[in-house]
Structure 1
Amino acid sequence: MGYRFDSDVLHEVARQVVGWPLETGELVTCAVELLAEAYPDSIAPTAGRWVGSKAGGILGKVRFLYFSPREYLVIFGSPTGTQGFSGRYKRVQIHKFLMAGQIDSYDLESDDLTATTLRPGEHTCLEKGQARGLTIHPGSWHLEYGRGAVATTLPFAMVDTLLVSLEFESVRRSGVEFARLIRRQVAGSRPRSR
């Protein structure tokens, strides 16, 4: 069984919105509209609300666009910048498509002592089993696409927010957004009456 999203299409969407204004929200609005055009059965043209997220020390805002057992798609970023740990996912591959700002990262286990820099319009992939240190510069926003056993990412995505930050409201809002996306998916998979 194939995947719903094509990383080349997601990369092209990120490239198309580079340079759009952040202050007015046009960058995010345009990205969501382009994704809804490319995937009308999966992405709503008006995205849900922003939710606070802290995972691996990385604090930012996330907007959930799609969630299923095998794939997820979100917009993530921070107006002020943040840094921390990418997480290590043995069963999920994670793509980042930078729309604005800059992300510096380094492999935690390699002999390489330098960081790589991701700039707007560029794409990087965290392969299964890899882990990175990340610095997300102020004003950085990216599409994040996960592919694989997505449920295995949820403990990492929620534990820091729930147990370290004690930010129960963000966990509640995340649950509401997940439920909204799953309802949309179930409604879209029902046979249409004639």
Structure 2
Amino acid sequence: MAASKNSAAAKGTSTLTILALLLAAFASLFYYLEQHLESFYVFEPEHLHDLSQRAIAAHGNDTRAVVSYIVSELDEKVGGKYLNFDEEWVFNNAGGAMGAMYIIHASITEYLIIFGTSIGTEGHTGRHTADDYFHILQGTQLAYTPGSYEPEVYPQGSVHHLHRGDVKQYKMDSSCFALEYARGWIPPMLGFGYADTFTSTLDFPTLWATTRITGREMIGNLLQGKI
């Protein structure tokens, strides 16, 4: 009996040791990747801001043409290597707000989408593990932080930078579309994007479409060496 107990204790200790080593290895890997995130990015906020402004200057409020202009130049810049050219629009419910999105790029460390709605929406930005740059292509976005008595106003051609870990209330009074770029750790953000499906909309076909497109793009980019 004593031998049996000693054997079980030894196995338990061995299991804990293995788990501790795995945790240490994961923590070391995460720390290394965190310190080298910049090396994984293929898009630059400054270029995307300039590109958005040039697209607006060329096409004004013809948002379809603005989007086409943006995607065409990105194709030239990155060689079409990491981009999705199919405008697979899907609804997006997150933080109480509702709109639609076209995923141009999705990987472990970046996503680039067109997000918006033609009738307006309002909600919670979420508190994310990535910096988010919201380049306004059409309309105006308002944002609010607790303690402020005036809204932040982001008109066409401007960019709203939501810093990693920050949170705000946001609103688009009417038609508003943006080129949204996030850089950091993207997978932890997916929970925010999925939560409303289970707590409110129960729109599982949209959930499946979002998962299918996002997963396909992330895996495809991983296979090309893009983390």
TM over 0.5: yes
Is 1:98 aligned to residue 139 of structure 2?
Answer: no
Match of 2:94 in 1: 55
1:112 aligned onto 2:156: no
Would you say the 8 A contact 1:48–1:177 is kept in 2?
A: no
Q: 1:176 aligns with which of 212, 215, 218?
A: 212
Q: Is the 8 A contact 2:134 2:178 kept in 1?
A: yes
Q: Tell me which of the two structures has the higher relative contact order, counting C-alpha pairs closer than 8 angstroms and 6 or more residues apart.
A: 1
Q: How far off is 1:96 after superposition?
A: 0.7
3-state DSSP class of the match of 1:63? strand
Structure 2 distance, partners of 1:121, 1:161, is 32
Number of residues of Structure 1 aligned to a counterpart in Structure 2: 184
Do residues 43 (structure 1) and 83 (structure 2) align? yes
CA RMSD of aligned residues (A): 1.8
Task: For structure 1, list consecutive stretches of 5 or more residues without a partner in the other structure.
Answer: none
Q: Per the alignment, in what secondary structure is the counterpart of residue 166 of structure 2?
A: coil
Contact 2:107 2:222 (8 Å CA) reproduced: no
In the aligned structure 2, how far is the partner of 1:37 from the partner of 1:58?
A: 33
Match of 1:132 among 168, 181, 185: 168
CA contact (8 A) 1:102 1:140 kept: yes
Q: Return the alpha-carbon distance in structure 2 between the equivalents of residues 130 and 55 of structure 1.
A: 16
Whether contact under 8 Å (2:108, 2:218) holds in the other structure is no
CA distance in 2, matches of 1:153, 1:186: 18
Pick one of 57, 62, 67 that aligns with 1:21: 62
Between Structure 1 and Structure 2, which shows a larger proportion of helix residues?
A: 2
Q: TM-score, normalised by structure 1?
A: 0.87
Kept in 2, the 8 Å contact 1:69–1:151? The answer is yes
Mapped partners of 1:160, 1:70: distance in 2: 23
State, as a whole percentage, how many aligned pairs show the same letter. Answer: 24
- Please tell me whether residue 11 in structure 1 is matched to residue 40 in structure 2: no
Distance of 1:120 and 1:171 partners within structure 2: 30
Q: Give the unaligned 5+ runs of structure 2.
A: 1-35
AA partner of residue 53 (structure 1) = N
1:51-86 Cα shifts (integer Å, max 9, x gaps): 000000110010111111111111100010100111
For residues 133 and 35 of structure 1, do their structure 2 counterparts lie closer, same or farther at Cα, with a shift above 3 Å needed? same
Aligned amino acid, residue 116 of structure 1: E
TM-score, normalised to structure 2's length?
Answer: 0.75
CA distance in 1, matches of 2:130, 2:52: 21
The change in CA–CA distance for 1:12 and 1:112 in structure 2 (over 3 A counts) is same
Contact kept, 8 Å, 2:136 with 2:159, in 1: the verdict is yes
Question: Which has a greater percent of strand?
Answer: 1
